[in-house]
A and B are shown apart, each in its own frame.
Chain A
Amino acid sequence: MPKYAMVIDLQRCVGCGACSIACRNENNVSEGIYWSSKITETSGTFPNVRFHYLPTLCNHCSNPPCVTGCPTKAMHKLDNGITMHDPKKCIGCRYCMYNCPYEVIYFNWQDPHKFWKDDRPVINGGTSSPKEIAKKVNNGNGTPYSNPARAKTLPENRPKGVVEKCTFCDHRLKAGEIPFCVVACPADARIFGDLDKPDSKVSRLLGKFKPYRRKERLGTQPNVYYIRSYNPASYARTKGGI
């Protein structure tokens, strides 16, 4: 069985957000939910300031607190290392969200894609309603741009009252394809592969560069690794002074 992992090369990442947009399209992610997100920070004080950007997603931890806490095994581990959620078993207690130290699990507070269920025309007497467009293009299934491939392993659109999160595009992996955020990254900053294969790209990168993972001290053993750091700034060599 493979052990899937992702390496994010922060020297290559330009913070364009293409990964997040690709994720939304591929997985029919609803408004207010972010399977793929980011942490931005500004350090220093003006004029000596710097902007930092860290792409985030579910870490698919080897020791996941969300799985330990889930009372009905709706949140569970697959043999290939993916932390998966099953909306059929989810009772909506949100204890996984409470337990996740990375804040990458989201809850469907209301029906998904509310906008596309609105039967009021955008312009009265001038345009059709969002509901009519969704009905015409995609038989009313979520949005007009809904991706039916997502339905291979999860409901195409997850219902109200359950949690959801990144699945490493498990439906694509089943079809022999890599996650769509990796495909969409214009800078090839995301590298995906099997950690059990010593010659895989991810294994090689982790051997070549010192990786780090978020909140490693907690012992959750994330399978999303970060390498390098982008910083084009330079400074004149100095020993400082008092």
Chain B
Amino acid sequence: MKAIKIQLWYGLLLLGILLGLLTAYRVLISSGFVLYAKTDILVWTMPIAAYVFFSLTSSGLAFVSSIPVVFNIKRYQPLEKRIVFLEIAVLVAAFTCLFLHLGSPQKLYYYIFSPNFASPLWWLGILYGLYLIILLLSFRKIQAGKVSRGLGIFAFIVAIATSTSLGWLFGLPDARPVLDANFLSMYFPLTGFASALAAVLMFSLAYHHFAQIVLSEGDKNLYDDLSKLFGFVMALTLVFFLWRTIVGGVSATAVEFAGFRHMLGSGWYHLALWVGLVIPIVLIAMPSVRTATWGKITAAVLFLVGMFAGRMEMVLTSLVMPTGPKAEGQPPFVSYWPTIWEVFVFVSALAVLLLIYTLGERHLKLAESTE
């Protein structure tokens, strides 16, 4: 029975990956990007929002991983191996989204042969490439039974650089005044950290559930501590989230105010606020829910759903107001709903993540504690 369930699970994940391959063929080779709900106004949509979601979660996992390795809080050591492996799986999911977003990914070698050091996008590509290499080296070391503090510190620094560079990337354009680099360079690492805590809770507790392993008293206390930290970081995220709203509404220019109006009216915003922040914070604030496995998983899942909606809202708010010649014949705000092909991008990235993680959990003993 168990074997059938596992085969079914692998079948589902392979189906997700096949959908991604089909999308890659249709978009990059046969039909083109007309399959996405992109227009000359909405040049970035769901694939880039999914990329931001996954890449920041991966950077955030480096922060969680740094708790035992960099800051020497040994209580979190048992989580180290799983976290580093999860970082790799999530990062590969982010790269999947990016691959399906780019118009000509086959020319990525120009990153090396024709670099533009002034471009945040160049730095981001190089830093995430470096990050993947460090993670692979770290995991190899962990697999051999050792944790490299040097690599851990390096990964921590690169993760700060990647998450803040993403803020630079979105904050650079004067063309998009609703985004602000100073704010995003703080907001991105913080929300990445919160997403990572949610992912660690979700994946670790799901593993124990599916492997039918009863949590030891020590493990239970560890996850309770982790959920308290998760609650605190979520509350901090809510404060930043509300400040962004207040600043947009009170002290903005006409263009920023238009972005603010759109943001308040969008379903993504309310999903991020209510489902992604308010409800999970309330859940985690209740001791009886916080200490229960289902409570932790529910709060983590809701937060991740809300965070994805938040990434969507942020990408769209910067683009939905047409300007210049592209505003000809357009309404003040263009609307967006993803096509099935854009959903396939997210589904395939998630399938890649889950397949890598499942294989790791089954064959690489991620529950093993490191020294």
Asked if A72 contacts B103 (CB within 8 A), the reply is no
B43 close to chain A: CB less than 8 A? yes
A94 close to chain B: CB less than 8 A? yes
Taking A68-B119, A72-B111 as contacts, is the C-beta distance between A109 and B34 under 8 angstroms?
A: yes
Which of B108, B119, B122 has its CB near the most chain A CB atoms (within 10 A)? B119
Output the nearest chain A residue to B39 by Cβ-Cβ distance. Answer: A109
A-chain residues with CB within 8 Å of residue B125 when the two chains form the complex: 71
B-chain residues with CB within 8 Å of residue A147 when the two chains form the complex: none
- Bound form: Cα–Cα A111–B31 in Å: 8
- Bound form: Cα–Cα A71–B103 in Å: 14
B326 close to chain A: CB less than 8 A? yes
Asked if A89 contacts B173 (CB within 8 A), the reply is no
A103 close to chain B: CB less than 8 A? yes
A129 close to chain B: CB less than 8 A? no
Which of B101, B102, B104 has its CB near the most chain A CB atoms (within 10 A)? B104
Task: Report the contact-size class of chain B (Cβ under 8 Å from the partner).
Answer: 35 or more
Asked if A99 contacts B175 (CB within 8 A), the reply is yes
Task: Report the contact-size class of chain A (Cβ under 8 Å from the partner).
Answer: 35 or more
- Please choose the segment from A21-29, A37-45, A138-146, A192-200 that sits at the chain B interface, where 4 or more of its residues have CB less than 8 A away: A37-45
Output the nearest chain A residue to B176 by Cβ-Cβ distance. Answer: A98
Asked if A93 contacts B325 (CB within 8 A), the reply is no
B-chain residues with CB within 8 Å of residue A226 when the two chains form the complex: none
Output the nearest chain A residue to B28 by Cβ-Cβ distance. Answer: A161
Q: Which of A96-152 contact B (CB under 8 A)?
A: 97-104, 106-111
Q: From residue B291, how far is it (CB to closest CB) to chain A in Å?
A: 45
Residue in contact with A102 in the complex, picked from B116, B121, B324, CB distance below 8 Å: B324
- What sequence of 0s and 1s flags, for each residue 102-135 of chain B, a beta carbon within 8 Å of any chain A beta carbon? 1111011011001110111110010000000000
A-chain residues with CB within 8 Å of residue B43 when the two chains form the complex: 94, 97-98, 107
Taking A71-B125, A160-B103 as contacts, is the C-beta distance between A100 and B32 under 8 angstroms?
A: no
B328 close to chain A: CB less than 8 A? yes
A-chain residues with CB within 8 Å of residue B318 when the two chains form the complex: 98
A218 close to chain B: CB less than 8 A? yes
A-side binding surface: helix, strand, loop or mixed? loop
B-chain residues with CB within 8 Å of residue A94 when the two chains form the complex: 43-44, 103
A211 close to chain B: CB less than 8 A? no
- Bound form: Cα–Cα A118–B206 in Å: 52
Taking A93-B121, A110-B32, A218-B174 as contacts, is the C-beta distance between A162 and B325 under 8 angstroms?
A: no
- Bound form: Cα–Cα A177–B33 in Å: 36
Q: Which of B18-51 contact A (CB under 8 A)?
A: 28, 31-34, 38, 40, 43-44
B323 close to chain A: CB less than 8 A? yes
- Bound form: Cα–Cα A102–B174 in Å: 11
Q: From residue A19, how far is it (CB to closest CB) to chain B in Å?
A: 13
Residue in contact with A104 in the complex, picked from B121, B172, B324, CB distance below 8 Å: B324
A227 close to chain B: CB less than 8 A? no
B-chain residues with CB within 8 Å of residue A56 when the two chains form the complex: 324-325
A184 close to chain B: CB less than 8 A? no
Q: From residue A59, how far is it (CB to closest CB) to chain B in Å?
A: 11
- Bound form: Cα–Cα A88–B327 in Å: 29
In the complex, 27 of the A-B residue pairs with CB atoms within 8 angstroms, ordered by the A residue number, are A32-B40, A65-B173, A65-B175, A68-B119, A69-B173, A71-B111, A71-B116, A72-B107, A72-B114, A73-B116, A91-B104, A91-B105, A91-B108, A93-B102, A95-B121, A97-B43, A99-B175, A103-B40, A103-B324, A103-B326, A106-B40, A107-B103, A161-B28, A161-B102, A162-B103, A163-B103, A220-B174
Apart from A70-B116, A103-B323, A218-B174, 9 more pairs, CB < 8 Å: A68-B116, A70-B119, A71-B111, A91-B102, A92-B102, A92-B105, A98-B176, A106-B40, A161-B32
Give the A-binding residues of B (Cβ under 8 A): 28, 31-34, 38, 40, 43-44, 101-105, 107-108, 110-111, 114-116, 118-122, 125, 169, 172-176, 318-319, 322-328
